[in-house]
Amino acid sequence: MPAFLSLAEAIATHVKDGDTLAMEGFTHLIPYAAGHEIIRQGRKHLTLIRMTPDILYDQLIGVGAADKLIFSWGGNPGVGSLHRLRDAVENGWPHKLAIEEHSHAAMANAYEAGAANLPFATFRGYIGADLPKVNPNIRSVTCPFTGEVLAAVPAHRPDVSIIHALRADRKGNVLLEGIVGVQKEAVLAAKKAIVTVEEIVDDLGAPSPNSVILPGWTITAVVAVPGGAHPSYAQGYYKRDNAFYIAWDPIARERDTFLAWIDAHVMRATPADFAARRPAA
Protein backbone atom coordinates (compact mmCIF):
# COMPACT_ATOMS: atom_id res chain seq x y z
CA MET A 1 0.00 0.00 0.00
CA PRO A 2 1.34 3.46 -0.86
CA ALA A 3 1.94 6.19 1.67
CA PHE A 4 -0.72 8.89 1.80
CA LEU A 5 1.35 12.06 1.99
CA SER A 6 1.06 15.78 1.51
CA LEU A 7 2.49 16.96 -1.80
CA ALA A 8 5.38 18.69 -0.03
CA GLU A 9 6.21 15.46 1.84
CA ALA A 10 5.94 13.31 -1.28
CA ILE A 11 8.32 15.47 -3.32
CA ALA A 12 10.72 16.05 -0.40
CA THR A 13 10.92 12.32 0.35
CA HIS A 14 11.01 10.83 -3.14
CA VAL A 15 12.43 13.35 -5.64
CA LYS A 16 16.15 14.09 -5.36
CA ASP A 17 18.50 16.44 -7.19
CA GLY A 18 19.89 14.66 -10.24
CA ASP A 19 17.00 12.21 -10.55
CA THR A 20 15.61 11.03 -13.86
CA LEU A 21 11.99 12.03 -13.68
CA ALA A 22 9.05 11.23 -15.96
CA MET A 23 5.95 13.35 -15.55
CA GLU A 24 3.38 12.05 -17.97
CA GLY A 25 -0.13 12.82 -19.14
CA PHE A 26 -0.83 13.13 -22.86
CA THR A 27 -2.55 16.54 -22.89
CA HIS A 28 -4.93 15.13 -20.25
CA LEU A 29 -4.13 14.66 -16.52
CA ILE A 30 -0.80 16.49 -16.57
CA PRO A 31 0.63 16.63 -13.03
CA TYR A 32 1.03 20.41 -12.80
CA ALA A 33 0.66 20.68 -9.01
CA ALA A 34 3.48 18.17 -8.50
CA GLY A 35 5.69 20.03 -10.96
CA HIS A 36 5.10 23.29 -9.13
CA GLU A 37 6.04 21.64 -5.84
CA ILE A 38 9.32 20.51 -7.44
CA ILE A 39 9.97 24.13 -8.46
CA ARG A 40 9.13 25.40 -4.96
CA GLN A 41 11.53 22.90 -3.39
CA GLY A 42 14.27 24.00 -5.79
CA ARG A 43 15.21 20.64 -7.31
CA LYS A 44 18.17 20.85 -9.71
CA HIS A 45 20.02 18.78 -12.31
CA LEU A 46 16.97 16.73 -13.22
CA THR A 47 16.75 14.63 -16.36
CA LEU A 48 13.17 15.18 -17.47
CA ILE A 49 11.41 12.60 -19.64
CA ARG A 50 8.11 13.43 -21.30
CA MET A 51 6.60 12.73 -24.72
CA THR A 52 5.08 16.19 -25.02
CA PRO A 53 6.92 18.70 -22.85
CA ASP A 54 4.29 21.41 -22.79
CA ILE A 55 3.78 24.29 -20.38
CA LEU A 56 4.73 22.25 -17.28
CA TYR A 57 8.19 21.42 -18.61
CA ASP A 58 8.51 24.96 -20.03
CA GLN A 59 8.18 26.10 -16.40
CA LEU A 60 10.64 23.53 -15.01
CA ILE A 61 13.18 24.30 -17.75
CA GLY A 62 12.69 28.05 -17.36
CA VAL A 63 13.54 27.98 -13.65
CA GLY A 64 16.65 25.90 -14.36
CA ALA A 65 15.53 22.65 -12.72
CA ALA A 66 16.57 20.45 -15.64
CA ASP A 67 19.96 19.52 -17.07
CA LYS A 68 18.52 17.26 -19.77
CA LEU A 69 15.26 16.72 -21.61
CA ILE A 70 14.22 13.45 -23.30
CA PHE A 71 11.18 14.14 -25.48
CA SER A 72 9.39 13.81 -28.81
CA TRP A 73 7.31 16.98 -29.27
CA GLY A 74 8.03 20.25 -27.48
CA GLY A 75 5.36 22.83 -28.17
CA ASN A 76 2.34 24.58 -26.70
CA PRO A 77 -0.29 22.44 -28.44
CA GLY A 78 -2.39 24.46 -30.86
CA VAL A 79 -0.75 27.71 -29.75
CA GLY A 80 2.93 27.70 -30.80
CA SER A 81 6.39 27.52 -29.31
CA LEU A 82 7.54 26.78 -25.80
CA HIS A 83 9.53 29.96 -25.33
CA ARG A 84 11.43 28.84 -22.22
CA LEU A 85 12.46 25.58 -23.92
CA ARG A 86 13.54 27.55 -26.97
CA ASP A 87 15.48 30.06 -24.87
CA ALA A 88 17.33 27.18 -23.18
CA VAL A 89 18.13 25.40 -26.46
CA GLU A 90 18.81 28.47 -28.62
CA ASN A 91 20.47 30.76 -26.06
CA GLY A 92 21.45 28.58 -23.11
CA TRP A 93 19.23 30.46 -20.63
CA PRO A 94 19.17 29.96 -17.69
CA HIS A 95 21.73 27.31 -18.64
CA LYS A 96 22.41 24.97 -21.53
CA LEU A 97 19.92 22.13 -21.77
CA ALA A 98 21.00 18.77 -23.17
CA ILE A 99 18.35 17.16 -25.33
CA GLU A 100 17.70 13.59 -26.39
CA GLU A 101 15.05 13.73 -29.06
CA HIS A 102 12.84 10.89 -30.30
CA SER A 103 9.58 10.34 -32.14
CA HIS A 104 6.32 9.62 -30.30
CA ALA A 105 6.44 6.00 -31.42
CA ALA A 106 9.92 5.62 -29.94
CA MET A 107 8.97 7.23 -26.62
CA ALA A 108 5.79 5.17 -26.25
CA ASN A 109 7.68 1.98 -27.08
CA ALA A 110 10.47 2.93 -24.64
CA TYR A 111 7.98 3.31 -21.77
CA GLU A 112 6.36 0.01 -22.68
CA ALA A 113 9.77 -1.71 -22.74
CA GLY A 114 10.54 -0.24 -19.32
CA ALA A 115 7.24 -1.51 -17.92
CA ALA A 116 7.99 -4.93 -19.45
CA ASN A 117 11.45 -4.99 -17.80
CA LEU A 118 13.20 -5.13 -21.18
CA PRO A 119 16.46 -3.29 -21.87
CA PHE A 120 15.30 -1.73 -25.12
CA ALA A 121 12.33 -1.24 -27.41
CA THR A 122 12.17 -2.23 -31.04
CA PHE A 123 9.80 -0.96 -33.68
CA ARG A 124 9.64 -0.03 -37.35
CA GLY A 125 10.67 3.59 -37.11
CA TYR A 126 12.72 6.60 -38.17
CA ILE A 127 12.87 5.36 -41.77
CA GLY A 128 14.51 8.05 -43.91
CA ALA A 129 14.46 10.52 -41.03
CA ASP A 130 17.41 12.58 -39.72
CA LEU A 131 16.94 12.05 -35.96
CA PRO A 132 19.16 8.91 -35.88
CA LYS A 133 22.02 11.13 -37.14
CA VAL A 134 21.82 13.41 -34.09
CA ASN A 135 20.67 11.01 -31.36
CA PRO A 136 23.20 8.21 -30.64
CA ASN A 137 20.54 6.40 -28.59
CA ILE A 138 18.63 5.60 -31.77
CA ARG A 139 20.17 2.38 -33.03
CA SER A 140 18.98 -0.73 -34.86
CA VAL A 141 18.55 -4.46 -34.43
CA THR A 142 18.19 -7.13 -37.07
CA CYS A 143 15.22 -9.45 -36.76
CA PRO A 144 16.61 -12.98 -36.18
CA PHE A 145 13.71 -14.48 -38.14
CA THR A 146 13.31 -12.24 -41.19
CA GLY A 147 16.53 -10.23 -41.34
CA GLU A 148 14.57 -6.97 -41.28
CA VAL A 149 16.47 -4.07 -39.70
CA LEU A 150 14.34 -2.38 -37.04
CA ALA A 151 14.83 0.72 -34.93
CA ALA A 152 15.92 0.25 -31.31
CA VAL A 153 15.89 2.72 -28.41
CA PRO A 154 16.76 2.21 -24.72
CA ALA A 155 13.87 1.46 -22.36
CA HIS A 156 12.77 4.32 -20.13
CA ARG A 157 13.52 3.47 -16.49
CA PRO A 158 12.83 6.68 -14.53
CA ASP A 159 13.93 7.02 -10.92
CA VAL A 160 10.50 8.50 -10.31
CA SER A 161 7.37 8.74 -12.43
CA ILE A 162 4.71 11.24 -11.45
CA ILE A 163 1.17 11.18 -12.81
CA HIS A 164 -2.19 12.71 -11.94
CA ALA A 165 -5.14 10.32 -11.81
CA LEU A 166 -8.85 10.81 -11.24
CA ARG A 167 -9.23 9.22 -7.83
CA ALA A 168 -7.79 6.76 -5.35
CA ASP A 169 -9.48 4.52 -2.83
CA ARG A 170 -8.39 4.09 0.79
CA LYS A 171 -5.95 1.34 -0.23
CA GLY A 172 -4.28 3.64 -2.72
CA ASN A 173 -5.57 1.95 -5.87
CA VAL A 174 -5.97 4.62 -8.54
CA LEU A 175 -8.29 5.02 -11.54
CA LEU A 176 -7.59 6.69 -14.88
CA GLU A 177 -10.20 7.28 -17.56
CA GLY A 178 -10.33 9.09 -20.87
CA ILE A 179 -7.11 9.78 -22.73
CA VAL A 180 -4.79 7.55 -20.71
CA GLY A 181 -1.61 8.28 -22.68
CA VAL A 182 1.45 6.44 -21.38
CA GLN A 183 0.79 6.87 -17.66
CA LYS A 184 0.35 3.21 -16.81
CA GLU A 185 3.57 2.36 -18.65
CA ALA A 186 5.43 5.28 -17.01
CA VAL A 187 4.42 4.13 -13.52
CA LEU A 188 5.29 0.48 -14.14
CA ALA A 189 8.65 1.43 -15.73
CA ALA A 190 9.78 3.55 -12.76
CA LYS A 191 11.59 2.68 -9.54
CA LYS A 192 9.13 4.89 -7.62
CA ALA A 193 5.78 6.39 -8.55
CA ILE A 194 3.96 9.38 -7.10
CA VAL A 195 0.30 9.78 -8.03
CA THR A 196 -1.72 12.91 -7.34
CA VAL A 197 -5.49 12.49 -7.54
CA GLU A 198 -8.60 14.65 -7.63
CA GLU A 199 -10.06 12.91 -4.61
CA ILE A 200 -9.72 9.93 -2.28
CA VAL A 201 -12.90 7.91 -2.01
CA ASP A 202 -14.23 4.78 -0.28
CA ASP A 203 -15.11 3.08 -3.57
CA LEU A 204 -13.24 3.78 -6.84
CA GLY A 205 -16.51 3.35 -8.75
CA ALA A 206 -14.67 1.85 -11.73
CA PRO A 207 -17.06 1.99 -14.66
CA SER A 208 -15.92 -1.28 -16.23
CA PRO A 209 -13.99 -4.44 -15.29
CA ASN A 210 -11.47 -3.25 -17.89
CA SER A 211 -10.96 0.20 -16.42
CA VAL A 212 -7.41 1.44 -16.23
CA ILE A 213 -6.53 0.87 -12.59
CA LEU A 214 -3.07 0.94 -11.05
CA PRO A 215 -3.06 -1.22 -7.91
CA GLY A 216 -1.87 0.57 -4.81
CA TRP A 217 1.08 -1.80 -4.48
CA THR A 218 2.56 -0.36 -7.73
CA ILE A 219 2.58 3.15 -6.26
CA THR A 220 4.96 4.75 -3.74
CA ALA A 221 2.89 7.73 -2.65
CA VAL A 222 -0.65 9.00 -3.21
CA VAL A 223 -1.52 12.67 -2.73
CA ALA A 224 -4.95 14.28 -2.99
CA VAL A 225 -4.64 17.53 -4.95
CA PRO A 226 -8.02 18.66 -6.30
CA GLY A 227 -7.43 20.56 -9.53
CA GLY A 228 -3.84 19.30 -9.64
CA ALA A 229 -3.90 18.87 -13.40
CA HIS A 230 -4.90 22.46 -14.19
CA PRO A 231 -4.57 23.94 -16.86
CA SER A 232 -4.84 20.48 -18.43
CA TYR A 233 -7.96 18.60 -17.47
CA ALA A 234 -9.40 15.67 -15.57
CA GLN A 235 -12.04 13.68 -17.42
CA GLY A 236 -15.39 14.12 -15.69
CA TYR A 237 -14.01 16.64 -13.19
CA TYR A 238 -13.07 19.75 -15.17
CA LYS A 239 -12.29 20.80 -18.72
CA ARG A 240 -9.02 21.79 -20.30
CA ASP A 241 -8.37 25.49 -19.69
CA ASN A 242 -7.60 26.32 -23.32
CA ALA A 243 -7.70 30.04 -22.54
CA PHE A 244 -4.73 29.56 -20.18
CA TYR A 245 -2.73 27.69 -22.83
CA ILE A 246 -3.28 30.67 -25.13
CA ALA A 247 -2.44 33.15 -22.33
CA TRP A 248 0.84 31.33 -21.58
CA ASP A 249 2.39 32.40 -24.87
CA PRO A 250 3.00 36.08 -23.96
CA ILE A 251 3.84 35.18 -20.33
CA ALA A 252 6.65 32.83 -21.38
CA ARG A 253 7.94 34.92 -24.28
CA GLU A 254 10.09 37.19 -22.05
CA ARG A 255 12.29 36.11 -19.15
CA ASP A 256 11.03 38.77 -16.73
CA THR A 257 7.32 38.14 -17.30
CA PHE A 258 7.99 34.42 -16.93
CA LEU A 259 9.89 34.84 -13.66
CA ALA A 260 7.22 37.19 -12.30
CA TRP A 261 4.55 34.62 -13.13
CA ILE A 262 6.52 31.82 -11.42
CA ASP A 263 6.99 33.99 -8.35
CA ALA A 264 3.31 34.88 -8.08
CA HIS A 265 1.70 31.59 -9.11
CA VAL A 266 4.21 28.97 -7.98
CA MET A 267 6.59 30.29 -5.32
CA ARG A 268 3.86 32.20 -3.45
CA ALA A 269 1.21 29.55 -4.00
CA THR A 270 0.36 26.18 -2.45
CA PRO A 271 -1.11 22.95 -3.80
CA ALA A 272 -4.45 23.99 -2.27
CA ASP A 273 -4.63 26.89 -4.74
CA PHE A 274 -5.20 24.47 -7.63
CA ALA A 275 -8.78 23.72 -6.54
CA ALA A 276 -9.88 27.29 -7.31
CA ARG A 277 -8.22 27.27 -10.74
CA ARG A 278 -10.46 24.55 -12.16
CA PRO A 279 -12.87 25.70 -14.84
CA ALA A 280 -16.38 24.25 -14.69
CA ALA A 281 -16.81 20.71 -16.02
Which residues of this chain interact with another protein, rule CB under 8 A? Answer: 26-28, 51-52, 71-75, 77-79, 81-82, 85-86, 89-90, 101, 103-105, 108-109, 111-112, 123-131, 134, 148, 178-182, 184-185, 212, 233, 235, 239-246, 279
Q: What is the CA radius of gyration of the chain?
A: 18
The least CB distance from residue 123 to another protein, in Å, is 6
CB 83 → another protein: shortest distance, Å?
A: 10
Q: How far is the CB of 48 from another protein (least distance, A)?
A: 15
Q: Given 3-state DSSP classes, what are the helix, strand and coil percentages for the chain, each rounded to the nearest 5? A: 35, 25, 40
Cβ–Cβ < 8 Å for 82, 105: no
Which of residues 39 and 55 has its CB atom nearest to another protein in the complex? 55
What DSSP assignment string belongs to 15-53? Answer: --TT-EEEE--SSSS--HHHHHHHHHTT--SEEEEESS-
Helix or strand or coil: residue 265?
helix
Least distance CB 70 / another protein (angstroms): 12
Cβ nearer to another protein, comparing 59 with 72: 72
Please give the C-alpha separations between residue 71 and each of 146, 201, 270, in angstroms, as whole numbers.
31, 34, 28
Shortest distance, position 45 Cβ to another protein, whole Å: 21
As measured in angstroms, the least distance from the Cβ of 245 to another protein is 6
User: What are the Cα distances from residue 48, in Å, to 109, 201, 247?
Assistant: 17, 31, 24
Between 246 and 260, whose beta carbon lies closer to another protein?
A: 246
The smaller minimum CB distance to another protein, of residues 169 and 177, is found at: 177
Q: Which is nearer to another protein, 13 or 27 (CB)?
A: 27
Neighbouring CB atoms inside 10 A of 90's CB total: 9
Q: Is the peptide bond before 207 cis (omega within 30 degrees of 0)?
A: no
Burial of 70 (0-12, 13-18, 19+ CB in 10 A): buried
- Taking the least distance from each CB to another protein, the nearer of 7 and 51 is 51
For helices 55-62 and 255-262, what crossing angle results, to 10°? 100
